[in-house]
Amino acid sequence: MCTGKELQFSIFLIYALSEKWKKTPSDVYSILDNTRILDDYILVCYDTLHTLGTEYLVEDISEFAKEKGAPI
């Protein structure tokens, strides 16, 4: 279970990734959920990740998704 701040952060990232990947937020959520990036990285590492810049986060998560074979 995540806190309200973690939920807001996750939604923010989903929309930022949506713009970068040219996919709908729903598609981005599915990719993050299916690769377990959302639960095992974004939520687990929230304390560190929320202090980083948007551009860095989008690039970092994009690279991680590519490594996991996600269709981005």
In a domain, 33, yes or no: yes
Burial (CB count within 10 angstroms: exposed 0-12, middle 13-18, buried 19+), residue 54: exposed
- Output the CA torsion 41→27→68→11 (10° steps): -10
Q: Give the mean pLDDT of the chain.
A: 95
b/e per residue 1-27 (b: at least 16 CB within 10 A): eeeeebeebbeebbebbbebbebeeeb
Count of structural domains within the chain: 1
In a domain, 28, yes or no: yes
Query: Which amino acid appears at position 72 of this protein?
Result: I
In a domain, 59, yes or no: yes
In a domain, 72, yes or no: no
In a domain, 42, yes or no: yes
Is the predicted pLDDT of residue 39 greater than 80, yes or no?
yes
Q: Which domain holds residue 30?
A: 4-67
pLDDT digits (tens, 9 = 90+) for 51-68: 999 999 999 999 999 999
Is the predicted pLDDT of residue 29 greater than 80, yes or no?
yes
In a domain, 38, yes or no: yes
Is the predicted pLDDT of residue 1 greater than 80, yes or no?
no
In a domain, 13, yes or no: yes
